[in-house]
A and B are shown apart, each in its own frame.
Chain A
Amino acid sequence: MKEHKLMRSAILLFWTLFWGLSVMDKIIPDVQHLWVGKDFFALFVKFFASLGLQDPLYATIALAGVSGLEALNFTMYGAALWALMQGNGAKSEAWFFRGIFTSMGLFSLFSIADQVFGDRFQLLEHGLFWVVLLCSWILFKFFASETERTLSLGATKWALVTGLCLTLAATWSIRNFSQSTFDVGTKPVLGEEVVNGIWKFDFPFLADKVVWERTVNAFVEDHPELEVTYIYTGPSELNSKKKTHLLLYVFTQAKSTY
């Protein structure tokens, strides 16, 4: 297969999926079974409310407009990918240009909104997507002028064998780790009395609200002589960077003295 066609396909596949999934996220509202996505409606309502436009109609119209543009983008990238698969490079390039042009327009609109609503982080995010789109177009055009070079890998048997062996090793390790740690997502965490009457609970990454409830209940059951007076969630500054997930401190007093 030609080098430039492979790279062009990879670019088109990425952007087609990007816009296709963005459209799906708009079609499927809120969190559903098998789909989480992002609640853009709530985001838009909050943005417009911060401007003093409380009527949800404004957010609805804006979101419908954005979704329409995203659907248009998806169609164009899909058409570009289809044309490339059919071997029609010129047609693919034309559709890709249309897609890039409208996508950059959409991110420009987002950036205007970010400035109006004062969201500088989203402005950076949209600015970066905008520049990646622009560069994707430049790369796509660059590959068109490349020679008709084809892949010449030579002997790949050892690469495949090594790859398979490493994949098997990684699979074994993943399964092993999964089996040994899955329980921590359900089991109560054991506390340690770090100061007189103050217990520390170091929550693992897999823990969630259910683990929190089980931990507190188990602690109360194991220490009938103690009364929980206060629970303090350690802020992230107390964590030793990536190694600690969540610290919880439970303050207690002996029942008789409280």
Chain B
Amino acid sequence: MDTSTSPISSSTHWIQEGILAYWTLFWLLNVMDKVIGGAHFLWVGRDRFAQFQKYFESAGLESPWVADAGLVVAAALEVFALVFCTGAWYHFRSHREEEARSWFLVGILLTLGTFTFFSIGDHWFGDRFELLEHTLFWFIAAVSWVTFIQLEHVELPSIFHRIPTGPMSIAIALILVTSASIFSYNESGFVKRTAALEAVKVGDHLYKVSFPFLGGSTVFEETLRQFQENHPDEFIDHIYTVPKPLRLKKADALIFYISTDDTQ
């Protein structure tokens, strides 16, 4: 059943191509994020201008020109990293291994340069979390390069045409069960995205509202609207949000208490 095999391509080649595809797409989407700017329909991205502006403003450089200049340097590094990674992928597909290697090296050097540039900013503006993030990306880029060139000398097992039917049947069954469960939960759970919540009286003029994980600002507003309708003789005096340390880890989502007073 699954014993006859016919190799179509070395998996070494697939992994090398996967590395090139990853970095090409990585930089393509980063450049797109810079060109699009802001959140739109079908694209949220990250507001880098706001981030840069706040960083430079915190250092006393309030002019938007400074943030723009920083962002343009970052964008230029990203654009050239994209161009060279794309070129490397193109040469690789055209079986020009020497050129692919050299183009990818330049792409990787530009990637390392970009993350070095970002980590300078992280030190400057005291953002240690971003420093860790950029150091890890820097490291992933360096490891990608070593893996790419090491694979030139490695012969990994080939990929076969015929896929074993046993594991495939199990996989398909699992996909069906998982999908059924997700669609079923969607039927019963999506309403939690908008439906108002019940405010439970827990004390004198004190009500508790426990949010589901799907709840957002709409649920919050609908809950307040319903509360006002159900309690016309009271007005909201204060809302207390239970801080995270008081919640039961992952079991509790947002919880808030509504404190009221009698309407005069």
Contacts and interface: CB of A to CB of B under 8 A. Distances in A.
Contacts of A179: 64
A137 B256 CA distance: 51
Given A7-B142, A139-B143, A181 B38 contact: yes
A83 B205 CA distance: 74
Interface in B185-230: 211, 215-217, 220-221, 224-225, 228
Contacts of B75: 167, 170-171, 174
Given A22-B123, A163-B79, A196 B228 contact: yes
B31 interface: yes
B49, B67, B109, B120: most-surrounded residue (chain A CB, <10 A): B49
B146 interface: yes
A253 to B, nearest CB: 7
Interface string B47-88: 101110111001111001001100110011001101110010
A230 B126 CA distance: 34
Contacts of B37: 173-174, 176-177
Interface stretch (A60-68, A74-82, A152-160): A152-160
B237 A166 contact: no
B46 interface: yes
A17 B117 CA distance: 10
Contacts of B82: 166
Contact of A170 (B31, B59, B101, B145): B31
A136, A173, A177: most-surrounded residue (chain B CB, <10 A): A177
B128 A38 contact: yes
B104 to A, nearest CB: 11
Contact of B50 (A33, A37, A149, A205): A205
Interface SS, A side: helix
Contacts of A241: 44
B123 A14 contact: no
Contacts of A135: 139, 142-143
Interface SS, B side: helix
Interface stretch (A46-54, A85-93, A215-223, A232-240): A232-240
Contact of A240 (B58, B87, B116, B217): B217
B151 to A, nearest CB: 14
Interface stretch (B18-26, B130-138, B174-182): B130-138
A236 to B, nearest CB: 9
Contacts of B241: 235
Contact of A159 (B49, B84, B136): B84
A241 B213 CA distance: 12
Interface residues of B, number: 83
Contacts of A35: 59, 124
A190 interface: no
A142 B106 CA distance: 18
A174 B49 contact: yes
14 contacts: A7-B145, A25-B123, A33-B59, A38-B128, A125-B132, A139-B142, A174-B37, A177-B49, A185-B50, A194-B221, A200-B221, A206-B49, A237-B253, A244-B217
Interface of A: 3, 6-7, 10-11, 13-14, 17-18, 21-22, 24-25, 31, 33-39, 125, 128-129, 132, 135-136, 139, 142, 146, 149, 151-154, 159, 162-163, 166-167, 169-171, 173-179, 181-182, 185, 194-198, 200, 204-206, 208, 229-230, 232, 234-235, 237-244, 247, 251, 253, 257-258
Interface of B: 31, 34-39, 44, 46-47, 49-51, 53-55, 58-61, 64, 67-68, 71-72, 75-76, 79-80, 82-84, 87, 98-99, 101-103, 105-106, 108-109, 112-113, 115-116, 119-120, 123-126, 128, 132, 135-136, 138-139, 142-143, 145-146, 149, 211, 215-217, 220-221, 224-225, 228, 235-239, 241, 253-254, 256, 263-264
State the 3 A-B residue pairs at the shortest beta-carbon distance, nearest first.
Answer: A177-B37, A21-B123, A205-B50
